[in-house]
Amino acid sequence: MSSEFIAHELKHADLSSPARFVWSHVRRHPGFAFLMIFGAFSNALLASVVPILTGWAVDSIIENQDMTYVAWTTAAIIGSQLVRGALQFMRNFSSETFAQRIERDVRDELYVSLLAKSMSFHDRQPVGEIMARVTNDVREINLMMNPGFNLIIGSSMFILLPLLAAPTIHPALVLAPLLFVIAYAVVQVFYVRSLHRVAQEVRSSFGQMNARLAETLDGIEVVKGTAQEDQEVRGFNRLVERVRDWFVAQGDIEARYVAVLLMGLATVGGFLHSIYLYQAGAIAAGDIIAFMGQLSLFGFPVFTSIFSFSRVASGLASAERILSIIVAQTDLDQNEGGHAGRLDGAIAFEDVDFGYVPGKQVVHGIRFAIQPGQTVAIVGQTGSGKSTLTKLINRTYDADRGRVRVDDVDVRAWDLAALRSQISVIEQEIFLFSRTVAENIAFGQPDAPREAIVEAARKAQAHDFIMRMPDGYDTVIGQRGVTLSGGQRQRLAIARAFLTDPRILILDDSTSAIDSATEDRIQKAIWTAAKGRTTILITHRLSQIRWADHIIVLRKGEVVAQGTHEHLLQTSAPYRRIFARTDDERMPGRAAVTRPQQAADR
């Protein structure tokens, strides 16, 4: 299985089937598994002792009215149940720890797997559906282990003990327990099969409901802005009703659980059989009490199996959903043995075709070269493929045809981590985490000292507004930076790029939300940062286009012209149209910042 990211510290699970996937996690904790099984067996054994001791006491009273023996029997019953309680505590502690550790391991592996997937995988997956698997489905595996398997193991011991104890009373008395166990096993097979299909639908419908909820909350501004709250409520209610219907279907299967009827038949049949043996003189009255006490042990597995097997069915359905994510093939691999080293920054596109959807190309026949240390502007109308080209450089996506080369090495042959660690991309849509300002700036270098973080912020013209925040660099910003303006978010992203000191810097319209005065200062900082490294600008601002060493013009996914600003003004009609429509050109009193001006500023 290929992946973009590999966590070597995690043990690999068996991914061949949901059952083997669960078992591979169970066997990592043999100590807790043993304590759970031992506790279940001792619980059933000590429960089975009570009716046997009671039968002996009854016989003692009937035969010789020996109350001393009854007293000793009573003491033995009390002592056995005290021991049983202590062992039960050990069993429940072990089973809960066991389940929590398995949940932790599965969640870690699923999280790492999600980080390892390519962007094309994540593009196809609703966030809410993924969240349902990471949270609820993983939790279902916990519940499958405890109380699910914990109760099943315990109830299996309660089924086993009557089969072992009944023949010690009289060999013929094994008949009723044996017939019950055979019938009970058949019922469980059909019950679990019926539950499994419904449990899959329950988990699937819940995931769809969660996906709709996450999508609506993510787009809440659009919902409110278009007054579509009622429509979203109706759509969500339809999904909620579907979840409800499948839960009702599961309840219908559980309501038709016939094991309770089987237990009643076994109790009646066993009682009549023991009365027949008593009348024949084969057993004593106390033996009837002991035998009926053994049959009463079947009550625990019968009543708990309604719940425990549904937990197992839900857990296996969840394991299947989790496994489908983990084993999903990704388009990229980390290529740990690939080329690694310090980048010079040369980039070449050689007849590159790419499309996000098979059969629908976004860019095609792309051919150009960028020299180390050059500043290159990529311009074109919206949808011409400008941002797409930059995503092929750091292997966010791989080209469908042709080659992208960095330092004369195909990007597919690079160690992915080595390649990406030396490329910094600042996009128009800035993502910031719900962490401190300092942590967001240092995201690419978590161990960076505070002095370096502050210096990066100064270069990005962000230091002043950061210091006006309540806690300065320790201020926690909201998710996606919603507490900041667009210009502030972009300056933090630029500071993050400055701190990583990349060999290739890509700015995807990264100053679109910045006012004119701030933009001039940031352009000077960008020019300083661009010195000695390859810089790619995707922009409509002439103040940035003009000082590029090379300009590439895209139209409908093709390179239609390339050269210097002066050369393209003379030879390229598409470039002249872009130049004429640029807002900067229409802004009175605004002089474009050119490279000579910036040199003078320095």
The CATH number covering residue 289 comes to 1.20.1560.10
Residues 6+ apart with CB under 8 A from 189: none
Distance (Å, whole) CA 9 – CA 167: 52
Q: Strand pairing of 558-563 and 550-555?
A: antiparallel
pLDDT of residue 525: 64
Q: Are residues 94 and 146 in the same domain?
A: yes
Tokens of 525: 């900082």
Structure confidence by residue, pLDDT tens digits, 365-390: 999 999 998 999 999 888 888 989 99
In a domain, 460, yes or no: yes
Q: For residue 250, give the 3-state DSSP assignment.
A: helix
Q: Are residues 194 and 226 in the same domain?
A: yes
Structure confidence by residue, pLDDT tens digits, 14-65: 888 888 888 888 888 888 888 888 988 998 899 988 998 888 888 888 887 7
Query: Before 147, cis peptide (omega within 30)?
Result: yes
pLDDT band at 315, cuts 50/70/90? Answer: confident
- 95 vs 116, residue with greater confidence: 95
pLDDT of residue 348: 95
- 577 vs 583, residue with greater confidence: 577
Q: Are residues 396 and 442 in the same domain?
A: no
Q: Are residues 413 and 444 in the same domain?
A: no
pLDDT of residue 276: 93
Q: How many C-beta neighbours within 10 Å does residue 515 have?
A: 10
pLDDT of residue 598: 39
In a domain, 3, yes or no: no
- 483 vs 181, residue with greater confidence: 181
Residues 6+ apart with CB under 8 A from 200: 317, 320
Asked if 195 contacts 309 with a C-beta cutoff of 8 angstroms, the reply is yes
pLDDT at 198 over 60: yes
Written as one string, the DSSP assignment of 452-510 is HHHHHHHHTT-HHHHHTSTTGGGPBPPGGGTTS-HHHHHHHHHHHHHHH--SEEEEEST
Q: Are residues 234 and 383 in the same domain?
A: no
10-14, 268-272, 312-316 — which is least confidently predicted? 10-14
Q: Are residues 41 and 162 in the same domain?
A: yes
Domain that holds residue 428: 424-501
The last residue of a domain, from among 468, 501, 534: 501
- 121 vs 449, residue with greater confidence: 449
Distance (Å, whole) CA 522 – CA 542: 15
pLDDT at 174 over 50: yes
pLDDT at 133 over 70: yes
Distance (Å, whole) CA 530 – CA 526: 6
Tokens of 9: 């510290």
Q: Are residues 530 and 556 in the same domain?
A: yes
pLDDT band at 585, cuts 50/70/90? Answer: very low
Q: For residue 370, give the 3-state DSSP assignment.
A: strand
pLDDT of residue 173: 93
Q: Are residues 411 and 432 in the same domain?
A: no
Asked if 430 contacts 514 with a C-beta cutoff of 8 angstroms, the reply is no
Distance (Å, whole) CA 266 – CA 258: 13
The DSSP code for 149 is I
Distance (Å, whole) CA 24 – CA 66: 56
pLDDT of residue 337: 82
Q: Are residues 126 and 246 in the same domain?
A: yes
The DSSP code for 436 is B
Q: Are residues 288 and 393 in the same domain?
A: no
Q: For residue 550, give the 3-state DSSP assignment.
A: strand
Closest residue by Cα to residue 114 from 327, 291, 384, 348:
327
pLDDT band at 346, cuts 50/70/90? Answer: very high
In a domain, 599, yes or no: no
What is the average pLDDT score of the chain?
A: 84
Distance (Å, whole) CA 94 – CA 153: 13
pLDDT at 264 over 50: yes
Instruction: Look up residue 32 and give its amino acid.
Output: F
pLDDT at 120 over 80: no
Distance (Å, whole) CA 88 – CA 40: 8
pLDDT at 589 over 50: no
Written as one string, the DSSP assignment of 84-96 is HHHHHHHHHHHHH
pLDDT at 601 over 50: no
pLDDT band at 171, cuts 50/70/90? Answer: very high
- 206 vs 481, residue with greater confidence: 206
Exposure pattern of 520-538 as b/e (b: 16+ CB <10 Å)?
A: bbbbbbbbebbeebbbbbb
Q: Cα dihedral sign for 6, 11, 15, 21?
A: negative
Written as one string, the DSSP assignment of 185-209 is HHHHHHHHHHHHHHHHHHHHHHHHH
Distance (Å, whole) CA 436 – CA 432: 10
Phi, psi of 526 (to 5 degrees): -65, -40
Q: What is the mean pLDDT of residues 279-294?
A: 91
pLDDT at 469 over 50: yes
Q: Cα dihedral sign for 184, 186, 190, 196?
A: positive
In a domain, 137, yes or no: yes
For residue 543, what is the domain's CATH number?
A: 3.40.50.300
The number of residues making up the chain comes to 602
What percentage of the chain carries pLDDT values higher than 70? 90
In 13-66, alpha helices (H): 18-26, 30-64
Q: What is the mean pLDDT of residues 338-360?
A: 90
What percentage of the chain carries pLDDT values higher than 90? 25
pLDDT band at 517, cuts 50/70/90? Answer: low
Q: Are residues 465 and 384 in the same domain?
A: no
Q: Are residues 159 and 295 in the same domain?
A: yes
Distances (CA, A) of 547 to 60, 70, 450, 563, 572: 107, 103, 33, 12, 18
In a domain, 497, yes or no: yes
Number of structural domains found in the chain: 3
pLDDT of residue 479: 60
Q: What is the mean pLDDT of residues 270-292?
A: 92
In a domain, 279, yes or no: yes
In a domain, 518, yes or no: no
pLDDT at 595 over 50: no
Tokens of 493: 């992203």
In a domain, 50, yes or no: yes
Q: Strand pairing of 347-354 and 401-406?
A: antiparallel
pLDDT of residue 277: 93
- Residue 561: beta bridge partners? 553
- 149 vs 122, residue with greater confidence: 149
The last residue of a domain, from among 268, 291, 326: 326
The DSSP code for 9 is T
pLDDT of residue 552: 93
Distance (Å, whole) CA 527 – CA 521: 10
Residues 6+ apart with CB under 8 A from 214: 126, 127, 128, 131
Distance (Å, whole) CA 388 – CA 555: 13
